[in-house]
Amino acid sequence: MAIGDVGDHGGPIIERAQLFIRLRGAGWLTGPFKSSDALTAFEATVASPYLSSLVQYRGVRRTKIIDFQLDPTDMGALGPDPRKFVAGNVFLIPDADIQKVVADMANSQPQPLQDDKNFIFMVVISQDPIPIVPEQSNASGYHQSFITDDKRTLHYAVLLNQSSNELDHTWHYLPGVFSHELVESCTDPAPPVVSCSRTVMKSAI
């Protein structure tokens, strides 16, 4: 789609996003960018003037972070890089495994969450070597939705980080992917296939 063709075509939006974040991976303990850094970065992004521009999309309001949890268990299994960028192994994480984490996030609240169009579940994975989702192999982040066995629709986003990256790099990289996927989750919560490229990121605004 050319830039001139971008517009509001009346599809579903998430007007008052409530964000549930789950950090996964040992990299949050072993890498230089810690879970506390992630929370600082995400809270600052949500409070920034950048996200206030979402009001142009039929009144999308500022996102509220509802829950923030750390699980330092690595996800996936080591295997060859499907992109053939890395000579050694990478962590391969099926999207189905991420959906299980999302379902657990929804079910592990004090009161299991019902179907609510304003909920976004975000899984932020930090591991070394680099984590890759084979279904989204060129993506540093993506967002999707799925229907659970009990007929709830859960909207989710995924951010992928290599924990061994230098601190300055991650401070620039991860908030950018976070803001990109959050904006697109609010303005296009149920895409057929949407991802944030590892090499090119463009704002949805």
Contact in structure between 123 and 142 (CB atoms under 8 Å): no
- Its domain, for residue 154, covers 16-77+95-127+140-197
Overall number of domains in the chain? 1
Per-residue pLDDT in tens (0 to 9) along the chain, 205 residues: 444 455 566 667 788 889 999 999 999 999 999 999 999 999 999 999 877 777 666 667 889 999 999 999 999 999 999 999 999 999 999 999 999 999 999 988 766 555 567 899 999 999 999 999 999 988 899 999 999 888 888 999 999 999 999 999 999 999 999 999 999 999 888 765 434 444 333 333 3
Single pTM value for the model: 0.86
In a domain, 86, yes or no: no
Q: What is the length of the chain? A: 205
In a domain, 134, yes or no: no
In a domain, 10, yes or no: no
CB atoms within 10 A of CB 146: 16
In a domain, 64, yes or no: yes
Contact in structure between 22 and 101 (CB atoms under 8 Å): yes
Burial of 11 (0-12, 13-18, 19+ CB in 10 A): exposed
In a domain, 177, yes or no: yes
User: Rounded to whole angstroms, how far apart are CA atoms 100 and 108?
Assistant: 12
In a domain, 202, yes or no: no
